[in-house]
Amino acid sequence: EAGVTQSPTHLIKTRGQQATLRCSPISGHTSVYWYQQALGLGLQFLLWYDEGEERNRGNFPPRFSGRQFPNYSSELNVNALELEDSALYLCASSVGVYSNQPQHFGDGTRLSIL
Amino acid sequence: DQQVKQNSPSLRVQEGRISILNCDYTNSMFDYFLWYKKYPAEGPTFLISISSIKDKNEDGRFTVFLNKSAKHLSLHIVPSQPGDSAVYFCAASPRYAGGTSYGKLTFGQGTILTVHP
Query: Which pLDDT score is estimated for A40?
Result: 79
Domain A5-113: state its class.
mainly beta
**Residue-range domain boundaries for chain B:** 4-116
- Most confidently modeled range among A6-20, A50-64, B1-15: A6-20
CATH fold for the domain made of B4-116:
Immunoglobulin-like (2.60.40)
**Residue-range domain boundaries for chain A:** 5-113
Q: Which residues of A touch B107 (CB under 8 A)?
A: 42-43
pLDDT at residue A50 tops 70: yes
Q: Judge whether A89 and A76 are in contact, CB under 8 Å.
A: yes
Query: Which pLDDT score is estimated for B41?
Result: 84
Can you tell me the mean pLDDT for B13-35? 95
Q: Judge whether A78 and A18 are in contact, CB under 8 Å.
A: yes
Closest Cβ–Cβ partner in B32, B49, B103 for A56: B103
Can you tell me the mean pLDDT for A20-36? 96
Can you tell me the mean pLDDT for A19-41? 94
pLDDT at residue B1 tops 90: no
